[in-house]
């Protein structure tokens, strides 16, 4: 059984129906759909955290309110999950994710996929220290097991997002698998919480124009998430989390020493040059 955790906030009826229909049409798996409207002002992260607390199935998957899933999405992700279980066992926190098509409101495909637009090396980027700095695994692409759900616990308010938190826990204490195939349609419209950013030259120029203070604010948010991780897991936490958690309090030279020593890098030369220049 797979719990599909569908978080909603004032959804457009037609989009929500299309997503629910695509979930119900999943082949080869048993699905238990759990929906929750955010009428308490929790935000996406808080709403998904509340849904996690309701999940009891062996596996779970997050769902946005306006995507459409390929009919084989869960079956293919579950197949990869079982490959990991055969190696590591079911008691180890495991997470699987896939790619997705980027579309407009009418589900017409746009250039690139969710992951190709981020210009990341997937295998290289799945190590814990890099995920602390740059998460590219979207919640709507995930399937995870009960062991990860229990280990992750309640998503702390300092987490950048619910998906980033689960990915960090999986990378620190378990394993992550990738299905190299677009298995969902990610609608882009004016009400997306995050969106599928194309991290090309225009994106870097926009970030550069935001200035050093905006850069350091984003780094402080990463550090706050790392501090929440250390607070939750204590001595189990990898050294990289401990190093990042107090990075903003360090002097200029110590910040750069920690970044290099613990390889607290993002992906791409420009990202890392900016990190070393402005941290």
- What DSSP letter does each residue of 97-117 carry, written as one string? EEEEEEE-TT-PEEEEETTGG
Residues of the chain with CATH 3.90.550.10: 2-187
pLDDT at 268: 87
Q: Give the class (CATH, top level) of 2-187.
A: alpha beta
**pLDDT, greater one: 214 or 189:** 214
pLDDT at 189: 76
- Rounded to two decimals, the pTM is 0.93
Average pLDDT over residues 184-210: 68
**pLDDT, greater one: 20 or 277:** 20
**145: which strand partners?**
59
Residue 261 pLDDT level (bands cut at 50, 70, 90):
very high
Instruction: Using DSSP bridges, classify how beta strands 59-63 and 109-113 pair: parallel, antiparallel or unpaired.
Output: unpaired
How far is residue 227's CA from residue 253's CA, in Å, rounded to a whole number? 21
**229, two tokens:** 């991780």
Residue 209 pLDDT level (bands cut at 50, 70, 90):
low
pLDDT in tens, 165-182: 999 999 999 999 999 999
pLDDT at 212: 85
**161, two tokens:** 């997002």
How far is residue 269's CA from residue 18's CA, in Å, rounded to a whole number? 40
Phi, psi values for residue 127, rounded to 5°:
-80, 150
Q: Is the model's pLDDT at 192 over the cut of 60?
A: no
pLDDT in tens, 97-133: 999 999 999 999 999 999 999 989 999 999 999 999 9
Across the chain, mean pLDDT equals 93
Q: Is the model's pLDDT at 224 over the cut of 90?
A: yes
pLDDT in tens, 52-76: 999 999 999 999 999 999 999 999 9
The share of the chain scoring above pLDDT 70, in percent, equals: 93
pLDDT at 199: 59
H helix runs in the chain, sequence order? 13-24, 43-54, 73-88, 122-125, 128-133, 146-152, 162-173, 201-210, 212-233, 239-245, 252-261, 269-278
Q: Is the model's pLDDT at 195 over the cut of 60?
A: no
pLDDT in tens, 15-54: 999 999 999 999 999 999 999 999 999 999 999 999 999 9
Residues 129, 239 contacting (CB under 8 angstroms): no
């Amino acid at each position: 059984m797979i719990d599909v955790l569908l978080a909603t906030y004032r959804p457009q009826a037609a989009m929500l129906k299309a997503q629910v229909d695509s979930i119900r049409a999943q082949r080869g798996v048993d699905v238990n759909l759990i929906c929750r409207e955010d009428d308490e002002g929790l935000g996406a992260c808080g709403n998904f955290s509340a849904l996690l607390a309701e999940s009891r199935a062996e596996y779970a998957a997050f769902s946005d309110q306006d995507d459409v899933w390929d009919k084989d999405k869960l079956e293919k992700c579950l197949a990869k999950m079982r490959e990991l279980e055969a190696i590591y066992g079911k008691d180890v926190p495991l997470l699987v994710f896939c790619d997705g098509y980027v579309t407009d409101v009418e589900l017409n495909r746009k250039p690139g996929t969710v992951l190709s637009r981020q210009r990341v090396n997937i295998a290289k980027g799945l190590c814990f220290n890099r995920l602390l700095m740059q998460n590219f695994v979207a919640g709507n692409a995930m399937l995870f097991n009960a062991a990860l759900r229990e280990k992750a616990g309640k998503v702390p308010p300092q987490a950048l997002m619910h998906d980033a938190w689960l990915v960090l826990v999986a990378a620190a204490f378990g394993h992550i698998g990738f299905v190299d195939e677009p298995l969902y349609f990610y609608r882009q419209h004016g009400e997306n919480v995050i969106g599928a950013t194309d991290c090309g030259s225009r994106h870097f120029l926009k970030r550069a124009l935001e200035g050093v203070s905006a850069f350091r604010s984003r780094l402080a948010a990463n550090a706050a998430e790392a501090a929440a991780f250390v607070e939750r897991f204590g001595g189990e936490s990898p050294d990289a989390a401990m190093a990042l958690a107090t990075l903003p309090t360090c002097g200029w030279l110590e910040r750069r020493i920690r970044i290099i020593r613990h390889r607290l890098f993002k992906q791409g030369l420009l990202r890392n040059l900016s990190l070393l220049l402005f941290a």
